[in-house]
Structure 1
Amino acid sequence: CYLKYCICLTEFEILNIPYTIESFHNSPKEGMIKGLWKNHNHEPRAVRLVTELSLEYKVYDPQLWNGILQKLLAFNMVDYLRKVLVTITAIHPLWQIPTFTRAWRSVILAPFLSASCPPSPMQLDACYESFVLLIKCPILLDLDLVGIAKQYVQLELMAFALGCLLLIPYSEKRKQQIQGFLLSVDPVILLQQVIDHMTTGEVAGYACKIKELALDSIADKKQYEKLIGTKFFPFLKQHMIDNKRVEELANYLVDRSCLDDAISVVTEYLTHEGRPIKSNISPAEILKTFDFACYNDAKPHGYQALVCSHLASRWKKIEMYSYGIINNRYQIIWTLLGPTKAGAR
């Protein structure tokens, strides 16, 4: 407390206002703050001091705070204003003051006024901070989030743009905007930007949502080739496993003779399902085990014949079995890979 008094007295001295520790301690704080504001609100240093004292002594007079925010904007004290807005977000009565919304909008849009494409590291940091502010902003209903997303698009920061759309409060509008956005952007760019800019800190939760949307877009469009052989393929495998869509990916990989990748996907899936593969099992048996897993789950699929045709040239002895099950009074014929001899490649 003594240290705070000393700091305040130093600021008062710079402003040529005589105070001692005793007189400062005994002064009614709200009256002192309003007096300081009345006589010195034309000085940036005094405005900052009034702000600090108002927060310290919980003086939340709406008229005073409306003036404070106006002056912080006028003096272009954007960095400081950003911190102040986050702090007073917990003071609900201050949300109603006229300058509150304008102040939030100004600090969020400030980086875009001078940023170029591609943004410099410093500009990129400022754009990141703007997105963090958006996450904390209590008045999203009053902001043009689509317009802010377009600002990020102009800087080719697509992941942040999608993050803005995720913040749209109305579910139908949010869904519509996200669907349209995903049609116009390369999901690989989204994944790369998530890794580059959004994996840590306060935006990490939104990074996961953006990654999921990008992977969903790739899976829905069957654009797996965009990720095969890239550092993002493990993300795709895990995504398909988590969302019970392994058969789709396995079909695609086998159909295009990406058998090593298919076996990798199947192995991870079976391990995830509590049916790990034995270390000495052949590739053909791995796929057969996957067929049995699908069989037991009663999920009809037709990629076994494709497996056979693609593996025939690589494994010499593949025996064909036909299994039938009755499901909802229909006969489903399952063609499964038979056992192979070790070293049959």
Structure 2
Amino acid sequence: MSAILEVKNLKTKFKTDYGTVSVVDGVDFSIKPGETLGVVGESGCGKSVTSLSVMRLLPSNASNEGSITFQGKELISLPEKQMQQVRGNDIAMIFQEPMTSLNPLHTVGRQIEEAVILHMNISKQEAKERAIKMLNAVGMPRAQEIYGEYPHQLSGGMRQRVMIAMAMACDPKLIIADEPTTALDVTIQAQILDLMRDLKDKTGTSIMLITHDLGVVAEMCDRVIVMYAGQVVEETDVQTLFENPKHPYTMGLIDSIPSFEDEKEYLNTIPGSVPLPYEMPKGCRFAPRCSWAKEICHQHAPELMEIESQHKCRCWLVTKEDAS
């Protein structure tokens, strides 16, 4: 099955006071129709910038190189007017904090309507009916009343449901969800994830799910890419990621998950922090934090290579021979 989205050698650079820095550096991945791809990593690893690059929503001091192909259409060079037709219609985005993404001056119904009218060429009355239908679809109680309410009148979970309703309103082929449950309590998190899964099963929409929560990845994703310091360091299916992780960074992330089975006084942590874009180490970007690092790791940067079928890793300590 051919990919609906294909990203090749994506480089996203920002002009800063320190000069031009690469925040995303040579990222490759693809998403198939109906697939959920998880993008995992700590804050500052380039996950959100990658998603904004796909949507072409970067600030004016940023630029993209490489290729982002959606259904055979190259997005990087697409004129802005045509890109506006892709956004919301073919690719929709659910942002991390709905209170900053929803307009406080307009009712939630009007905000859903705007996207529908812009992309679907239907009347205002039909758009209203569509908006109420979408609010019902995301399990919103009192959809008729909530249609006329403002974002501040809703709880965090309800606002996130409104964001999902907006994203789904034009039947997009791909939804990019950037930490969609971070600001919510665990009960509401579970409801939102169930909702996204149900909508995907019903509509066949592909999802690019950006998160630092490996529990969410285990529950939602088919495949996973692990990002560190602007690069993909591991890519595989979700089962293999948890059963047979290869990159030391991935192992560290998995080891830091709390477990009911192990009675530990302290949680495992990865020492240090993600390097700043203008302070990248010479060799492997994870080497300064890696307890297994050898001299080659500090001197030369490893390539992302396939170590098993559909399993890639960027690490000098892992070879095809090690994997077998």
Shorter-chain TM-score tier: under 0.3
Q: Which has the higher helix share?
A: 1
- Whose relative contact order is higher, 1 or 2, with alpha carbons under 8 Å and at least 6 apart? 2
Q: Which has the higher strand share?
A: 2
Report the TM-score when normalising by structure 2: 0.26
Report the TM-score when normalising by structure 1: 0.25
Please say which structure displays the higher CA radius of gyration.
1
